[in-house]
Amino acid sequence: MKKLFSTMAVSTLALGLFAPVQTSSVQAASPVLLEEDFDDIANGRLPDGWKLLEGQGAVQGGKLVLNSSATSKPARVVVPLEEEEGDYVFEADVTFQSAVEDKRWASLMYRIQNENYPYYQFAVRRGASDVNGLEFAERTPADKWLVPERNFYTENMEYGKTYRLKVVASGNRVQQYVNGQLVIDTDQAGKYLNGDVGFQTSGSKVEYDNVKLTSFEGELPPVDGEGALLPQEAQTSMINAPTIINGEGVDVPHDETASALIKVDGDAGNLKGNGKDLRSVLMTLKGKKIPVLHMEKGGLEESVVGLLNDLSISDVHVVSSQTGIIEAVKDLNPRIRGGLYYDQRHLNKHDLKKIVQDVHKSESKMVMIPQNVLTEEGMYYLHNRMVAVWGVGGDTMASTHELIHLGVDGIVTNAPELAVKAFGQYPEQTIVQRPMVAAHRGVPSLAPENTMAGYRLAYELGADQIETDVQRTKDGHLVVIHDETVDRTTNGTGAVKDLTLAEIRALDAGIKFDEKFAGEKVPTFKEYLQEFKGKNVMLLVELKAHDVEEQTIQEIKEEGMMDQVVLQSFYLDSMQRSNELAPELPGGYLFSSAVPSTLQEKLKNAKKLVDYGTINDVTLNSSYGSLYKEFIQYMRQRGMLSMHWTFRAEPPFADKLKDGLIGPITDYTQWLTESPVQLEIPIKKVNLKEGKTRTIRAKARVSYRVAEREKIETELFVAEGNGVVTVNGNTIEAIAPGKAQVFAKHTFTMLGEEWNVVSEPIEVTVK
C-alpha cells in the first residue's frame, strides 16, 4: 500500500449536467490518506492490509480486478483505515470488462463499519443510463439494501472504457460524481459518520485503478432544491386543469401561476427580459416560478445559457418559432426544455403536421399557439402525437373558458386573475378533457390480444391510440406479438425468433381466448399498419427488441404513416436509436419505479424523471403504480404528456384520473365509452327581461374521432348569479337586472364513481 501524507490541490466542485454549481470551503491543501495504482503489486495479490471479504478479487496487470459471476455471489474488498476517518474524498478509475446484464453494477463502498457492514456505497450499473442507473445505497445492520437516492448518467458504462468515480463525504452530506459530473447529492448519510472504504461488484467483472482517498476538511453546502419546484396554482375541482403561465405583459407574476413567459432581447453583453435586465428578472423568479424564455433573436444562445448556469437555473423552458435556436440551446445544455412558438395566422392540416415534426425534431415536447387559430380538431391531432399545447390568450372570462374547453395543457395569459377565477367555477370531479385512451394490445378483456379482431374492436370503441408489440421472426419479418414465445397466446410453442413467418402464421392466435375467435392469426406489422392507414387513430408501437428499430421505421415509411405512429420501449437505447433514425417520430420510455414517501423526495424524484425525459428526448411512459399526484402535476407544469400502463382494475384507474392522468393504457377501453368527450351549448349569450325564461339543452360530443353529437340529459347551474337568475333543470329564469354565468352539466357514472362534464358558460344578461 502506498500511503502518503502530502498535500493536494482540491478544486471547486465542477458544474455537472445534473446539478448546479456547488462550492465549498475545501482548503487548498488536504492530507492524502491513501493512494494506490497497483503497479507494484504482484498478480493474484492484494495491497498489504486490504481484505477480500467475499468472491474473487485480486490485482491483475496493475489493476484491482473484482469478478462476480452472479448477483448472489458479489465480490467485495475492504480497505481498513488506520485512523477513524469519515469526511473524505474517495475516488477511483472504474472499467467494466463484462456484466451478466445491464442492471449489474460496480461500487465504491465507504464509511464501512466493523470491516464488513453496515456501510454506504456509490453503485454504478453497467446500464448507467437507466432511470435508476446510479445509486446512493446503504447496506443496513440487518445486511439488507436500502436505496434512498437514485439517478442516471448520460450513457451506459461501455466495456473497456474507463470512468472516474468520486465520493465527497462530509457529515450527513454526500456528493457522488461520474467523470466530474455531480450525479447524486444527498443529506441522508448521517447514520455512519466514519469508517473504512472498499470496492464491490455484483454480476460483473470490473477493474479499479488510481485509487485516492483525501481528507475533506471543508463543508458541503445544503442540498440545493432548485429544480424540484412545484408552484401552487389556482384551486379547482376540474380534473387535469391546465397550468397557468404569466404572459409577457404581466409585470408582477400572479401568486397562483406556475410559470412566467419572458421575451429575451438585447445583446450578449446586455441581455433583456421583457425590457428589463434579464439577470434581475430571473433572480426575482428563482424558486418561485418556472421561467419560460421566448427567444427569437439568434446569437444569444451562449450568453443566455451561460447566465442560466451562472444563476444555477436549470428548470427552464426556451421557446422560439425558430427550431435552430431551440436546438442550439439544447446543444449547450440538454436539460433545458424546448418549446415551439407558433406565430402563424392559420392552422390547417399541413401546419399541424409541420408542428409535430418541428416539435419532435427540435427535441421539444410543447407548442405555444395563439387562441384565435386553435380548434378542437387541432388540439386532438397534436395531443394524440404527444405534443402538449399551451394556448396564448385568455384575456376575457369567455376566452379563458374557451381555452379550458379546448383542452389546452397550459394557458399563457396577460390576465391570470381571470384564469384563477374561472378555475373556481367548476363542480367536483369535472372532466373538461377526457384523457387520451390507448387500447393495450387491442381489447384483451373482450378479444384475443394482439389480433386484428382485437384491434378493430378497439377502434370501434373509440380508442385514441391502439397499442401493439413488435418482434422479428427467424426469417426477418416483423410480427405483432407480446411474449418472446408463442406459447401463451397461440396453440403453438417456441420462440418467435426461432420460428419463420410461415410457421407463426400457421398458428391459431384466437382459440385460447374463445372458440368464437378460432382462426385468428398473429398479424404482421404491415397488416396492422395497413388496417388503420388514413384513419383518425394513432398507433402506439412498442419495440420489444434492441435491433428492430430500423426495420420498424422503414415499414412505417413504406406505408406513408410517419404521422400516425408513436414509438415506445423499455430499452432506452432503442428509443435513442429511433430518435437518430427518425427524429420526427414521438417516442416514449417505458419504466416502473417506487413512489417516494415524503413530499421532498417526491419532488426530487419528479425532477430527476423529467430531466431524464428531457435529456433523452422521450416521454415518461411509466407504470401507473409509479405515478403520484405531484409527479403528474410536475410534468404538466413543464409541458410533458405521457402514457401510463396498464389499467386492469377500476379503483386505481379512477384514482389516477382524479390525480390528473392524461394518457391511460388499458385492457378495458370500454370503461371510458360512457364518458362524453365534450358538452356543447347552442348559444353562449342570452338576453332576458325580468320574469322571462329560456330553456337551454346541450348536446354531447361522444368521440374525439367522430364529428357526432348526441342528445344528453343535462341540468343547468349558476356559477356567479348574484340573484340575477335562477335555474330549474334546463330552464333559466330572469330575476333581477345584471349579468350571470350559467353552465350546463351532465353527470354520469364511470369506473364506479360519478363524474361531471360541463359546458362553456352562457353569459346571461337580464334587463
Q: Which residues are catalytic?
A: 440, 482
Grid cell digits, residue 152:
442516471
Q: Are strands 119-125 and 105-112 parallel, antiparallel or unpaired?
A: antiparallel
Q: How far apart are CA 53 and CA 34, in angstroms?
A: 20
Half-sphere exposure of residue 540: CA atoms within 13 angstroms, side-chain side: 33
The amino acid present at 49, given as its one-letter code, is: G
Query: Rounded CA gap, 120 and 136, in Å?
Result: 7
Rounded Cα–Cα distance for residues 603 and 630 (Å): 7
Q: Which three cell numbers stand for residue 712?
A: 344528453
Give whole-number Cα distances, 320 to 262, 285, 292, 297, in Å: 12, 20, 10, 9
Asked whether the CA dihedral 554, 556, 557, 562 is positive or negative, the reply is negative
User: DSSP secondary structure string, 240-302?
Assistant: TPPEEEE-TT-SS--TT-SEEEEEEEEETTEEEETTEEHHHHHHHHTTTSEEEEEE-STT-HH
* CB under 8 A, 24+ apart: contacts of 374-379: 374/347, 374/403, 374/406, 374/408, 375/347, 375/406, 376/406, 376/407, 376/678, 378/347, 378/352, 379/406, 379/407, 379/408
**Please, what sign has the CA dihedral across residues 228, 234, 235, 239?**
negative
Compute the distance between CA of residue 518 and CA of residue 226 in angstroms, rounded to an integer: 58
Q: Give the residue ranges of DSSP H helices in 319-437.
A: 323-332, 349-361, 376-383, 397-406, 416-423
Q: What is the DSSP string of 590-608?
A: EE--PPPSSHHHHHHHHHH
Q: From the CB of residue 708, how many other CB atoms can be counted at a distance below 10 Å? A: 11
Buried/exposed 223-248: b ≥16 CB within 10 Å, e otherwise = beeebbbbbebbebebbbbbbbbbbb
In 3D space, the residue among 175, 177, 173 whose CA is nearest the CA of residue 189 turns out to be: 173
Pick the closest to residue 309 from 604, 18, 600, 611 (CA basis). 18
Q: Are 398 and 684 a contacting pair, CB within 8 Å?
A: yes
